[in-house]
Amino acid sequence: MSAFALELKDLGVSFGGFKAVDGVSLQVAEGELRVLLGANGAGKTTLMDLISGKTRSSHGQVLLSGSDITNRAEFRVARAGIGRKFQIPSVFRELTVRQNLGVAATREPSILRNLRWGFGRQTDKGIDEILDLIGLAGLQHRQAADLSHGQTQWLELGLLIAQKPRVILLDEPTAGMTQAETRKTAQILMALRGRQTILVVEHDMAFVRDIAERITVLHLGRVLAEGSVTEIERDPKVRQAYLGSHGIATPC
């Protein structure tokens, strides 16, 4: 078993001769919360696409707990243990919050069968824990279609957690959120740190400061720098390419 939950080795992809991701190597430890920073076009989302199987790489490897999952079909990557959340949430809008989590947690493929017969005692216990974690216990019987934007985002994060992936990929999880919702999202991720391996792409610098253990900065498809918040702020290459003179904003 590898010491790393996720490892990228010289990973790259080209589109019509343009190197969108150019030889990225990255190691994320078990239980680590890693943040990916970079300007638009730096290759962050493309890198997530390569990891999740949405895009096939031109070269390099993706290793999940030491197992090579490079260029597997997207559904096979998901089955192997990569869970991904996109900017636009995807939930079962006609089901309640609790029913959504139950469907995500069970291995029974039939949604109707799950709803008719229930999810089992162990699954119910796990659902209760997730509801507490994402702060939706009081709304568990509300239809998902009636949730606010932030609540829907938290529910989708709960769906990923319920599936028990080895690594969770989050693409701008605070997009469209209020400051209060952003703070709560930071609290949820901080509660997961150490228990769940998470890779986050985010532009909200105050949010990044709240959650980041280690930051990897991408620039023109390559790793420009890696380190703590303080190290990244002080790196002259990062300041020139991305942060400017302002550094990473202090928490709200």
Same domain, yes or no: 32 and 76 = yes
Going by their DSSP bridges, the two strands 82-85 and 167-171 should be labelled as: parallel
- Number of structural domains, the chain? 2
Q: Decide if pLDDT at 143 tops 50.
A: yes
At residue 154, the pLDDT reads 96
Same domain, yes or no: 249 and 175 = yes
- Which of 157, 191, 217 finishes a domain? 157
Same domain, yes or no: 22 and 42 = yes
Same domain, yes or no: 62 and 92 = no
Q: In CATH, what number is assigned to the domain containing residue 251?
A: 3.40.50.300
Q: How far apart are CA 171 and CA 36, in angstroms?
A: 10
Q: How far apart are CA 100 and CA 140, in angstroms?
A: 9
Same domain, yes or no: 216 and 150 = no
Per-residue model confidence as pLDDT tens digits over 6-53: 999 999 999 988 999 999 999 999 999 999 999 888 999 999 999 999
- Which of 121, 137, 157 finishes a domain? 157
Same domain, yes or no: 67 and 124 = no
Same domain, yes or no: 172 and 74 = yes
Same domain, yes or no: 74 and 96 = no
Query: What's the domain range around 95?
Result: 87-157
Q: How far apart are CA 166 and CA 217, in angstroms?
A: 23
Per-residue model confidence as pLDDT tens digits over 68-113: 999 999 999 999 999 998 766 689 999 999 999 998 887 555 554 5
Going by their DSSP bridges, the two strands 4-15 and 59-64 should be labelled as: antiparallel
Same domain, yes or no: 59 and 91 = no
Q: What is the mean pLDDT of residues 186-200?
A: 95
At residue 51, the pLDDT reads 97
What is the value of pTM for the model shown? 0.88
- Which of 120, 141, 157 finishes a domain? 157
Q: How far apart are CA 80 and CA 102, in angstroms?
A: 20
At residue 35, the pLDDT reads 96
Same domain, yes or no: 14 and 134 = no
Tokens of 246: 């302002």
